[in-house]
Amino acid sequence: MSHITDPDLSEDEIRLAAQLDNWFDAHREEFVQDLLQWVAHPSIADEKLAQPGKPFGAAVDEVFHHVLARAQALGFSTENHDGYAISIYADDREGVPEIGLVSHLDVVPPGDNWQYAPFEPFEKEGFVIGRGASDNKGPALVDLYLLRAFRDLGITLSHKLRIIYGGAEEIGMNDIRYLAQHGTLPRFSLITDGGFPVNYAQKGGLNLALHIPAGPLLTGLRAGVAENAVPSSAALRFPVAQRAQVSAALATLGEAQRAVLTLEEAEGGLRLVAQGKSGHAAFPEGTQNAIPLLLDALLAAGLLDDPADLRAAQLVSKLLADPWGEGAGIAAEDAATGKLTLNGGLAIPAEGGFELWLDIRYPLAADSAALQASLRTAVEATGGSLRVLRDDAPMHIDKNSPLVQQLLHTYDAVAQTRSEPFSMGGATHARVLPNSITFGPGFSRHAGGTFKGQATDLRPDFIRAGHGSPHGPDEFVVLDNLKRGFGVYGITLPRLDRWLQDGLAGDV
């Protein structure tokens, strides 16, 4: 631990922490109103909707302009990086190295099964509900309020603070990739799109599109909203004349399978829907993919008469049998980054069958080429094909490095706890932005988390069980946790400013 400086809070830092706490409380209602306005923007990035100056579509451009206008109204200088990202600068000093606070304003599509309207956010009992509240507009707004607080409290740094908001983190990170290639970058950046204490490793990200040949029934299979979200529903259609046959077949299923199925009339036909449980593809615990639920029911009920439909259902049921790649034959695990995860996030009708889009997060120990070869062999055996959408290698920083240990001990000092650096399957801009690390501001939702002795694993009692996660229905953020993250950053940034000056936080 010889690398550790400032392991505890100094008297000055204790006073600063109290000032930051009081400042946030004084601006809390304004913060909530800003967050509600940001979340109300359905800023779903889609490169297929690109326009000149709007590479991710009009929805992202609209939230960019809203946030830029708000920052300018607060007196900050701003910059729009050709529609890929925006920057907000704490001051107008020239030639001063920067510390970046990097986040994103795009969101995943809402999906199904929301109890509340996803883009009509509201605050209740200290929670804000709405798509993007947690991932990642709440944390992004913390960044802006940090700039305000530092200015109001007269906190000066040798480095200039600069916020960077991307517009395509959820669809492959071409936002910050573009900036890294075409713009100027901060000397060092904190990625404010993760959890505390400090993230030192992320699994690789492999996104594939499988073309699965199918017969007349499964050619109409539809499921999901994004490959990085677990589908909450999957559906296909039968001719209305088959109602008696389909109903009788479904009646032979066990109670558990019947409970997740709904057969309804829709647009002159019958629509069979399976309901699963959505969530983030990187964190599949507690989720249930609706695609294998539907296909397993069809197989068990004997409703797949066409040989191509039968082969397709058997293949996909095997590939998606579990979220760890065991059924698919690609399971892998290591101590640093944990288990491989596999999510079938989208099923889309395609010529001669359907496309199944996979989101695979693979550990350091796995080989991407071998994963692709294994899945390609399985798909080609049915006459299908595989194409690679994206492949991002795992990232890893030595968890005993001075930088990681400095951040860890700073968090522990503020939170009055003892913690360990963590790895995750979730991907952040740390993958594509040089000299950056993911540090907060989220807290684990598993039971037992505390900050200064107070519980952080809070959830609203007015949303349904299983709801509330990022990428899931009724996404929420805890306002008190955002305030806690604000306080941690308020102590960390002056320390990081000194570490960079003293050479204690080098390249990562």
Please provide the DSSP assignment of 263-289 as one string.
Answer: EEEETTEEEEEEE-B-EETT--TT-B-
Domain-wise residue ranges, the chain: 11-113+132-202+395-439+479-502, 204-392
User: Residues 38, 28: contact at Cβ < 8 Å?
Assistant: no
CA distances from 121 to 65, 78, 436 (A): 19, 27, 31
Q: Bridge-partner residues for 165, per DSSP?
A: 86, 103
The Cα 111–Cα 357 span in angstroms is 16
What the block records as the tokens of 256 is 């558990």
Q: Fill in the amino acid letter for 170.
A: E
Burial grade of 464 (CB within 10 A; 0-12, 13-18, 19 or more): exposed
Tell me how far apart the alpha carbons of residues 293 and 282 are, in angstroms, rounded to a whole number: 20
Q: Which residue, among 357, 341, 344, has the nearest Cα to 424 in the 3D structure?
A: 341
pLDDT in tens, the chain (508 residues): 345 555 689 999 999 999 999 999 999 999 999 999 999 999 999 999 999 999 999 999 999 999 999 999 999 999 999 999 999 999 999 999 999 999 999 999 998 889 999 999 999 999 999 999 999 999 999 999 999 999 999 999 999 999 999 999 999 999 999 999 999 999 999 999 999 999 999 999 999 999 999 999 999 999 998 888 999 999 999 998 899 999 999 999 999 999 999 999 887 789 999 999 998 898 999 899 999 999 999 999 999 999 999 999 999 999 999 999 999 999 999 998 999 999 999 999 999 999 999 999 999 999 999 999 999 999 999 999 999 999 998 999 999 999 999 999 999 999 999 999 999 988 899 999 999 999 999 998 767 789 999 999 999 999 999 899 998 899 999 999 999 999 999 999 999 999 999 887 655 5
- For 200-247, the DSSP string reads EEE-EEEEEEEEEE--TTGGG-EE-S-TTEE-SEEEEEEEGGGHHHHH
- Distance separating alpha carbons of residues 334 and 297, to the nearest angstrom: 34
pTM (2 decimals)?
Answer: 0.87
Cis before 441? omega within 30:
yes
Identify the sign of the CA torsion 171, 177, 179, 181: negative
Q: Kindly state the DSSP code that residue 348 receives in the 8-state scheme.
A: E
CB atoms within 10 A of CB 9: 16
DSSP secondary structure, 351-379, as one string: TTEEEEEEEEEE-TTS-HHHHHHHHHHHH
Cβ density class 22-36: b for 16+ within 10 Å, e for less: ebbeeeeeebbebbb
pLDDT of residue 7: 65
Among 302, 316, 303, 322, residue whose Cα is nearest residue 348:
316
Q: Give me the CATH code for the 204-392 domain, please.
A: 3.30.70.360
Q: How many Cβ atoms sit within 10 Å of the Cβ of residue 92? A: 9
Residue type, 463: I
CA distance 505 to 406: 9
What is the DSSP pairing of strand 188-191 with strand 436-438?
Answer: parallel
* CA 164 – CA 192 distance, rounded (Å): 10
- Taking the C-alpha atoms of residue 99 and residue 399, their distance in angstroms, rounded to an integer, is 21
In whole angstroms, what is the distance from residue 446 CA to residue 308 CA? 43
Judge whether 159 and 38 are in contact, CB under 8 Å: no
Cα gap 196→438, rounded to integer Å: 9
Instruction: Put the strands of the sheet holding 476-478 in their side by side order.
Output: 122-124, 127-129, 476-478
Name the class of domain 11-113+132-202+395-439+479-502. Answer: alpha beta
Give the 3-state secondary structure percentages of the chain, helix then strand then coil, rounded to 5. Answer: 35, 25, 40
Backbone angles phi, psi at 254, to 5 degrees: -70, 165
- How far apart are the C-alpha atoms of 7 and 9, rounded to whole Å? 7
The residues pairing with 122 across neighbouring beta strands, listed in sequence order, are 129
**Are 319 and 347 spatial neighbours (Cβ–Cβ below 8 Å)?**
no
- Residue 456 near residue 450, CB atoms below 8 Å: yes
How far is residue 252's CA from residue 277's CA, in Å, rounded to a whole number?
A: 24
